[in-house]
Amino acid sequence: MSSSAIELSLKGSYIMATAHLKLLSRFLFGGETRFDGSRKKSLEAAFSSVIKRQEENSSRLPDLDGMKARLKSDREFSVGNEGLLEVAVENLRKNRFKVVIASSLEEAFEAAVSAIGAEKFAVKSKSNITKEMRLVERLSESGIETVETDIGDRVLQLSGERPSHPTGPVSHLGRKAISEIISASSGLDVPADPEAIVGFLKTEIRDAIQKARVGITGANAISASEGSVVIIHNEGNVAEVSRLEKHIIIADSNKIYEDLASALNMVKLQTYYATGSVTTAYINIISGPSRTADIEKKLFYGVHGPKEAVVIIVNRDQQAEWRKESQYCIGCGGCLLECPAYLEKGPRFGSAYKQGGIGVIDSAIKEGMEAAYDNGLYSCLKCGLCKENCPVSIDTPSMIGKIKEEAVKDERLKKRLRPLRLVANSVTFAANARGALGAFSAKGKKTAYFPGCVTTVNTPEIRDAAIKVIEYALGERPSVLEGCCGGAWDSFGFAEEREKGFNEFSKRAEESGAEEIIVSCPHCYEILMERGDRLESAGVLRVLRFSEAVGNAEFIADNGLKAAYHDSCVFGRRYGVYDEPRKALKNAGVEIVEMERTREKAPCCGFPLILREPLSGGPIAQKVADSAISAGAEKLITSACPGCYYAMKRTSGIEVEDISVYLSKKIIKRKEIL
């Protein structure tokens, strides 16, 4: 069989596998969950306005990095700190709060019911833990009607939808959708006008507050040394709810901070990352029930505020160390603003009470692997934009990777993960077979080039071009190691197979006698870099990126092409490599025009979703293409990543070419290479 016939049949097996994956995911396992078009637009508009406000206000927080560093160290100190919890409880009690420690949400619910006592009506303000408890629904089942007093939460209470942001829960709903919801629930015709909507809800909520004797709130922070509860809000409702006869505060133990200074640093960051503003309209610091000693120094409780204030602290097991990192989350929603999966899938990506990748992690920890799978474990692109936009730099993508490794061991998910196993199997088999057939010489050179399995099977034009360019830049043809490094298994969490795949690769590398390996695929680069010591034992001393290896070569520079460069998430955000490929392209006469979001903020191409959920993945790639067009680019150049190239090739409106292919056309013909 000729080499091209082999390639065709190997590619065929991969195409069959991916088609199988699409069919299985669509028809057998419920397929792709889509986000309603108008809700998606409303969400995008709401999030864009937050980003814009953040940009406008950034100069008002000149020490943002210092504040973030302080927050990170405060979270590391306080989360899971049982000693600090004891100090907080002691000082809250000194301030006359009644304090209940609940070790589960169930216990917290029972404590709340007991604190409500004989009352049959309550009002509540925004609190994420009460959403997690389904407090309002469960109180109503127990005969205690509870009305949400935040405008957004009240709309959700009427519609029954999932919140789309921790502090802006109806960011996905426009005025028309909201007017329909409240008109349907009230039987009145409430116009689709923001003023009319707010006016209607304000009256309804005010009536409820006047009727209630019990107010329930969450807490943004509890300061241990002062024994105070900090609650931030814009609407003013918390001030009303917390001044009723009885105030019940429900908070997770991870809301405890050492002191008020730490708590206030956090709320400032929470406000900025959630809304783009530097402060909320109100910051309430509550240190016990309302009291006076004005009459003969005799202490009376319940003057203009509550006679009784109860703090229910939910103190759950934080579990393994890496899981603890997810508890550093301050619930600001910053990670959602540019998350490509969230912008496409909306609140279905995440749990019912916590949105996006961090919500998937939270559900894996609290509800198990099946819940994580249902909430979008495999929809996360591991692009790292969430980490970039997080005030605590929570490493969501790497936690998602660890959860996948646990998910594949879960017997209950075995059948549902079969299509993913099949794809990994097909692509590695095809690439390894290609290597075994030996179309390229794999031995005898100091430098080897490793294209990776997806490039070999799916985008061989990158491989062929890269070989040419490397040969040109180095003055000698490299040996070529085809096959898989284990990365295909890694993407889905099959850790055992990944390590087996890497061992086989490392054996081939040793047999090749290469001292350095040039890699074009960013995911292979990551796998190899993370196992540098094992490669060294195989005699491989260096791993180089394609653009690193060829970046200093001289290329034909005669056309002054205006092109946008699409940074790969791994080379960019993971390894901070931005200038190197741009330099190589400039050497070839390219004028780089930067897209609106570029470098650290560069959007993801959506490749992992394109295979499994093409209706969500396709628009993610198209956004990148549209951004390149808006920047005035004539061409969009990808980073030698086979995933980015595959995704971007399927967009419209702009020509897409990979950096390796582009540079291969700019080789200055020299005698010794021809």
- Please give the DSSP secondary-structure letter assigned to residue 36: -
Q: Between residues 264 and 332, which has the closer beta carbon with respect to ligand SF4?
A: 332
380 forms part of the interface with ligand SF4 (CB under 6 A): yes
CB of 174 to ligand SF4, least distance (A): 23
Cα(27)–Cα(124) distance, rounded to whole angstroms? 42
Taking phi over 0 as left and psi of -120 to 50 as alpha, with beta for the rest, 181 belongs to alpha
- For residue 654, the one-letter residue type is I
Q: State which of residues 17, 136, 266, 332 lies at the interface with ligand SF4 (CB under 6 A).
A: 332
333 forms part of the interface with ligand SF4 (CB under 6 A): yes
CA distance from start to end of the chain: 28
Three-state SS string across 207-224, please?
A: HHHHHCCEEEECCCEEEC
386 forms part of the interface with ligand SF4 (CB under 6 A): yes
Q: Between residues 326 and 458, which has the closer beta carbon with respect to ligand SF4?
A: 326
Residue with tokens 């009459």: 295
- Please give the DSSP secondary-structure letter assigned to residue 668: P
Q: Between residues 358 and 577, which has the closer beta carbon with respect to ligand SF4?
A: 358
Q: Between residues 321 and 533, which has the closer beta carbon with respect to ligand SF4?
A: 321
Q: Between residues 50 and 457, which has the closer beta carbon with respect to ligand SF4?
A: 50
588 forms part of the interface with ligand SF4 (CB under 6 A): no
385 forms part of the interface with ligand SF4 (CB under 6 A): yes
358 forms part of the interface with ligand SF4 (CB under 6 A): yes
397 forms part of the interface with ligand SF4 (CB under 6 A): yes
Angle of helix 64-78 versus helix 260-275 axis, rounded to 10? 120
431 forms part of the interface with ligand SF4 (CB under 6 A): no
Q: Between residues 11 and 72, which has the closer beta carbon with respect to ligand SF4?
A: 72
Return the number of other C-beta atoms located less than 10 Å from residue 468's C-beta: 18
Residue with tokens 């005699």: 539
335 forms part of the interface with ligand SF4 (CB under 6 A): yes
Which range of residues in 247-255, 278-286, 328-336, 516-524 is near ligand SF4 by CB under 6 A?
Answer: 328-336
Q: State which of residues 286, 309, 329, 465 lies at the interface with ligand SF4 (CB under 6 A).
A: 329
Cα(67)–Cα(53) distance, rounded to whole angstroms? 19
Cβ-contact 155, 181 below 8 angstroms: yes
521: CB partners within 8 A, 6+ apart: 451, 452, 454, 455, 487, 640, 641, 642
131 forms part of the interface with ligand SF4 (CB under 6 A): no
Cβ-contact 334, 273 below 8 angstroms: yes
Which range of residues in 137-145, 208-216, 304-312, 326-334 is near ligand SF4 by CB under 6 A?
Answer: 326-334
E strand map for 253-394: 256-257, 282-286, 291-292, 300-301, 308-314
Q: State which of residues 288, 340, 486, 493 lies at the interface with ligand SF4 (CB under 6 A).
A: 340
Return the number of other C-beta atoms located less than 10 Å from residue 66's C-beta: 11
Cα(306)–Cα(113) distance, rounded to whole angstroms? 17
Which range of residues in 231-239, 354-362, 560-568, 659-667 is near ligand SF4 by CB under 6 A?
Answer: 354-362
Q: Between residues 263 and 518, which has the closer beta carbon with respect to ligand SF4?
A: 263
Strand-pair partners of 124: 148, 216
Q: Between residues 174 and 618, which has the closer beta carbon with respect to ligand SF4?
A: 618
Which CA distances in Å does 502 have to 10, 506, 554?
21, 6, 34
266 forms part of the interface with ligand SF4 (CB under 6 A): no
Q: Between residues 330 and 457, which has the closer beta carbon with respect to ligand SF4?
A: 330
Strand 214-217 versus strand 256-257 pairing type:
unpaired
356 forms part of the interface with ligand SF4 (CB under 6 A): yes
Q: State which of residues 111, 135, 248, 339 lies at the interface with ligand SF4 (CB under 6 A).
A: 339
Among candidate residues 294, 285, 229, the one with its CA nearest the CA of residue 98: 229
Which range of residues in 10-18, 390-398, 413-421, 422-430 is near ligand SF4 by CB under 6 A?
Answer: 390-398
Q: Between residues 306 and 391, which has the closer beta carbon with respect to ligand SF4?
A: 391
Length reported for the chain: 674
610 forms part of the interface with ligand SF4 (CB under 6 A): no
Which range of residues in 232-240, 245-253, 363-371, 381-389 is near ligand SF4 by CB under 6 A?
Answer: 381-389
Q: State which of residues 218, 357, 435, 493 lies at the interface with ligand SF4 (CB under 6 A).
A: 357
341 forms part of the interface with ligand SF4 (CB under 6 A): yes
CB of 400 to ligand SF4, least distance (A): 6
Q: Between residues 111 and 330, which has the closer beta carbon with respect to ligand SF4?
A: 330
Q: Between residues 175 and 601, which has the closer beta carbon with respect to ligand SF4?
A: 601
Cβ-contact 291, 308 below 8 angstroms: no
- For residue 482, the one-letter residue type is E
Tokens standing for residue 360: 């998937």
390 forms part of the interface with ligand SF4 (CB under 6 A): yes
Nearest to ligand SF4 by Cβ — which residue?
357
Judged by CB under 6 A, the number of residues near ligand SF4 is 28
377 forms part of the interface with ligand SF4 (CB under 6 A): no
Site string for ligand SF4, 270-299 (x = CB under 6 A): ---x--------------------------
H helix runs in 134-259, sequence order: 135-141, 151-159, 175-186, 194-211, 237-241
E strand map for 36-134: 98-102, 121-124
User: What is the separation of C-alpha 659 from the centre of its chain, rounded to a whole number of angstroms?
Assistant: 28
Return the number of other C-beta atoms located less than 10 Å from residue 94's C-beta: 12
Q: Between residues 312 and 330, which has the closer beta carbon with respect to ligand SF4?
A: 330
DSSP three-state, residue 401: helix
- Burial tier of 107 (Cβ tally within 10 Å: 0-12, 13-18, 19+): middle
User: What is the separation of C-alpha 550 from the centre of its chain, rounded to a whole number of angstroms?
Assistant: 33
Q: Between residues 356 and 483, which has the closer beta carbon with respect to ligand SF4?
A: 356
Tokens standing for residue 241: 């709810």
Which CA distances in Å does 220 have to 227, 254, 468?
14, 10, 58
152 forms part of the interface with ligand SF4 (CB under 6 A): no
Q: How many CA atoms lie within 13 A of 671 on its CB side?
A: 0
Which range of residues in 187-195, 394-402, 434-442, 553-561 is near ligand SF4 by CB under 6 A?
Answer: 394-402
381 forms part of the interface with ligand SF4 (CB under 6 A): yes
Q: State which of residues 396, 426, 455, 512 lies at the interface with ligand SF4 (CB under 6 A).
A: 396
384 forms part of the interface with ligand SF4 (CB under 6 A): yes
Which range of residues in 323-331, 491-499, 555-563, 581-589 is near ligand SF4 by CB under 6 A?
Answer: 323-331
Q: Which residues bind ligand SF4 (CB under 6 A)?
A: 273, 329-335, 339-342, 356-358, 380-386, 390-392, 394, 396-397
